[in-house]
Amino acid sequence: MTYALYYWPTIPGRGEFIRLAFEDAGVDYVDVGRQRGAAAVAEMINRGAHFAPPIVETALESVSQVANILAWLAYPLDLRPSSDRDFRRLVQLQLTLADFVAEIHNVHHPLGPEIYYEDIVDTARQAARAFRHERLPAFLAYFERSLTENPMGHDWIVGDGCTTLDLSLFQVMRGLRYAFPNAMRLMTTPWLDELVHRVAHRPGIRAYLDSDRRLAFNNDGIFRHYPELDEQV
Ligand SMILES: N[C@@H](CCC(=O)N[C@@H](CS)C(=O)NCC(=O)O)C(=O)O
């Protein structure tokens, strides 16, 4: 099976959650946006079946929404837990992570994606303060607790092996440390930090991180580093 990923070529964004799954599993995939440019992604969206990228296409179907794509790929890529109950929990946590990612994005775009950050810096400052003090600790505590309370052990968040969700948590933790380094130093997430380390050392991920396929975080993406939105120290 060959997979085609449609995602914007210049940011890790939500496409990165999908890339990490492909790279960890070592499967063949075509990164259409990076090979053919943003126009090819726009063209896919204009066909009308999907509202927004990332979109993954095979010869048989095309699928959008990160959590939905990963729930699908978890089976063929062998990044799933073994029981149905754990699979439901995986999807539940992946959807919660999608909520978290949307809130992270909304910190720098509190009035919607169309308004330039530079035009709403003061509003973004207010949004960032609330995010850093309320939502960031609440979401991190939830995922940290999920990890420590996994009855199958604390190496992985669901079940006893690596899943798509562990790879996604890696990306979110790395993104948060890029965007809010000061605020993140105040958070206590020992188990999530161990998880990030464990994921970074998986053979497929390590090779990917060292390759030119891996895009660096930047200020056009979801995780943006604006010092004025971070904790002042
Ligand atoms: N809930 C969707 C969000 C998709 C999304 O917002 N995609 C962004 C890029 S990360 C986009 O290009 N959105 C265009 C739009 O919302 O019009 C998912 O998880 O896939």
Ligand 1: residue whose CA is nearest its atom 20: 65
Q: How many angstroms separate the alpha carbon of residue 14 from the centre of ligand 1? A: 7
Tell me if 109 CB under 6 Å of ligand 1: no
For domain 84-201, the CATH architecture is Up-down Bundle (1.20)
Q: How far apart are CA 140 and CA 220, in angstroms?
A: 24
Q: Computed from CA positions of residues 195, 196, 201, 203, in that sequence, does the dihedral angle turn out positive or negative?
A: positive
Residue 199 has pLDDT above 90, yes or no: yes
Q: Is the peptide bond before 54 cis (omega within 30 degrees of 0)?
A: yes
Task: Note the pTM of the prediction, 2 decimals.
Answer: 0.98
Asked if residue 53 has its Cβ within 6 Å of ligand 1, the reply is yes
Selection from 83, 84, 59, 58 nearest residue 73 by Cα: 58
Residue nearest (by alpha carbon) to ligand 1 atom 1:
65
Q: Is the pLDDT of residue 177 over 90?
A: yes
CB neighbourhood size of 68 (10 A): 15
Quote the CA–CA distance of 184 and 230 in Å, as a whole number: 9
Query: What is the 52 CA–ligand 1 centroid distance (Å)?
Result: 5
Q: Residues 6 or more apart from 3 whose CB is under 8 A from it?
A: 22, 27, 28, 29, 30, 56, 57, 58
How many Å separate Cα 49 from the centre of its chain? 23
- The residue contributing the CA closest to ligand 1 atom 2 is 65
Residue 65 beta carbon below 6 angstroms from any ligand 1 atom: yes
Identity (one letter) of the amino acid at 181? P
Token duo for residue 1: 């099976």
Residue 70, pLDDT score? 98
State the distance from the centre of ligand 1 to the C-alpha of 53, rounded, in angstroms. 6
Domain spans of the chain?
84-201
What six digits make up the tokens of 57? 């296409």
For 125, the token pair is 């400052």
**pLDDT value of position 116:** 94
Query: How confident is the model at residue 1, as a pLDDT?
Result: 80
pLDDT for the residue numbered 40: 98
The predicted pLDDT at position 55 comes to 99
Q: Which tens digit of pLDDT belongs to each residue from 38-86?
A: 999 999 999 999 999 999 999 999 999 999 999 999 999 999 999 999 9
55 touches 6 (CB < 8 A): yes
